Amino acid sequence: MTLKELLESGYEAKASDIHVMPGRPAMFRINGTISAYGSSGIEVNEMEKMLQMLLTEAQMEELEQYKEIETAVTLFGWFRIRINVFSQRESYCASIRLLSSVIPTPRELFLPPEFLALAKEKKGLIFIAGESGSGKSTTAASLLNEISVCETKHIMTLERPIEYLLTHGKGLMSQKEMDGNEEAYADAVKAAVRQDADVIFIGNIFDAETISEAVLAAESGRLVVAALSAPSAVDALENIVQRFYSFRREEMQRRIANVLKGIIVPRLLPVCGAKERRAVYEVLLEDKEIRMLIREGRFSQISSVMEKNRDLGMQTMDDAILSAYMKSVISSETAVDFASDREKMLRRMKIY
């Protein structure tokens, strides 16, 4: 089996990921579930040929030294993929994320209009949170592309690896691929401010210093969009604040409260009667009460404020799941399975 045949089959099957390991059939992740593609195991020589097409000589040397490498590449003219190659039992394996060559529009992703309106903000801080495979990168790419199409701005992204190739639009689009040094992100944010970026996208928030520089950039008049791994908006805020020493937390809570514009958390759910998934979104937006709770570190009370302010466009993940069920997008089983509070979800479903 050639790499091209494998990728073509993966895209045709609408797989999100392909896992390749010598001695085993290729495995496709489709709608969140892994299944074997065919019955023949991948031969060692087939794996070696794939790696030669996926990685440059320098990357092969890095793989030999560190036993793992992650990158993104465009193959055969239109396959855009992210690859993680790693050593396992004296052989190399690969996990391949299949990316779209076309960035989905906000309408295609069903992005909430209240969150999409943040693309017009001149300055501030926006977080895109979520678990691995939840659609953070696609959500970020769609939002940035919307800014690029609609606004004459200099957008700079700091990513490792660069997943989606963004176009210039009305202004300028700069995409900087970071190395493996997490500390370099803070310096890159400083540099982006010096390089007159209007919008700065940070592909993943790692440490307190990067968060500090992101907040400082927002305070200085930039719109900063940052992705991070967290299952909810509240978890995202707690995660961010906990990265600081205790004597700095109160200061950072105040500063984040002053610049935060919103947090969105996508989650992919299986659609009723279709072999596909659709994102639903938890949305937190700035308002006086939210700012006060962040400033005072009372994060546990934020969810109730979000529930109370649905008319402003805020919604918890369970609100989003219930809404999808009421619109017959997802089944009752899916709604209960993915709810954070299953008993409450069952009661709410009976009411409606």
Question: Residue 243 sits in a domain of what CATH number?
Answer: 3.40.50.300
pLDDT at 69 over 90: yes
- The answer as to whether 346 is a domain residue is no
Pair (167, 298) in one structural domain: yes
Query: What's the mean pLDDT in 201-220?
Result: 95
- The answer as to whether 258 is a domain residue is yes
pLDDT the model gives residue 350: 86
Pair (88, 127) in one structural domain: no
> How far is the CA of 143 from the CAs of 106, 113, 126, in angstroms?
7, 11, 11
**Contact residues for 106 (Cβ-Cβ < 8 A; gap 6+):** 116, 142, 143, 146
Residue 79: give the domain boundaries.
3-99
Pair (26, 173) in one structural domain: no
pTM for the model stands at: 0.91
pLDDT the model gives residue 108: 95
Pair (157, 246) in one structural domain: yes
pLDDT the model gives residue 77: 78
Pair (198, 254) in one structural domain: yes
pLDDT digits (tens, 9 = 90+) for 79-114: 899 999 999 888 999 999 999 888 999 999 999 999
Pair (95, 112) in one structural domain: no
Pair (22, 74) in one structural domain: yes
Gap between the Cα atoms of 320 and 314, Å rounded: 10
Pair (267, 164) in one structural domain: yes
Of 99, 131, 166, the one marking the end of a domain is 99
Total structural domains within the chain: 2
Query: If pLDDT is split at 50, 70 and 90, which confidence band does 60 have?
Result: very high
Question: Residue 95 sits in a domain of what CATH number?
Answer: 3.30.450.90
Pair (63, 120) in one structural domain: no
Query: What's the mean pLDDT in 257-282?
Result: 95
Pair (111, 223) in one structural domain: yes
Pair (90, 132) in one structural domain: no
Query: What's the mean pLDDT in 171-195?
Result: 90
> How far is the CA of 53 from the CAs of 3, 74, 83, in angstroms?
8, 11, 12
pLDDT at 227 over 90: yes
Query: What's the mean pLDDT in 287-309?
Result: 97
DSSP 40: P
pLDDT at 352 over 80: no
Using alpha carbons only, what angle is made at residue 132 by residues 211 and 232, rounded to the nearest 5 degrees? 60
pLDDT the model gives residue 209: 96
Consecutive H or E run containing 155: strand 154-159
Query: If pLDDT is split at 50, 70 and 90, which confidence band does 248 have?
Result: very high
Pair (71, 142) in one structural domain: no
DSSP 160: S
